[in-house]
Amino acid sequence: MDSIDELYAITNQLRSSIIFKKHNDTDKQIEELTLYLDKRGKILDSVNRDLLTSEEKKKLKEIYIISEEITKCMEKIKASIQQNIIQTKKGQTAFKGYNDSYALSADGYYFDKRK
């Protein structure tokens, strides 16, 4: 299998991994995506662009289109992860604020000032 065909196969595997597999564990998903991206990067580095045939150039254009689709999906995953981080931080500050209000009273009692 020459490098362009291998690149095409890995790109399709990456796309199917992102689009069709629903991961509950984001760490596992990130590791899997990183593996595919590393493989693709090594193959891209080994491709000599000056010696490509017209058929290989067409295949590279297809790979580019698929890569744009992959990029959009990865941006959605990134936004989802960022949203989870924000929610976690909000929860932590809410919990900390709740606990700190009890720690401030000198005699161990907390009096609610609402009427």
The secondary structure of the chain, three-state, reads CCHHHHHHHHHHHHHHHHHCCCCCCHHHHHHHHHHHHHHHHHHHHHCCHHHCCHHHHHHHHHHHHHHHHHHHHHHHHHHHHHHHHHHHHHHHHHHHHHHHHHHCCCCCCCCCCCC
Assess whether pLDDT exceeds 80 at residue 59: yes
Is the overall model pTM greater than 0.75, yes or no? no
* Residue in this structure with the two tokens 């295949």, named with its chain if needed: 59
| Mean pLDDT calculated for residue range 44-49 | 85
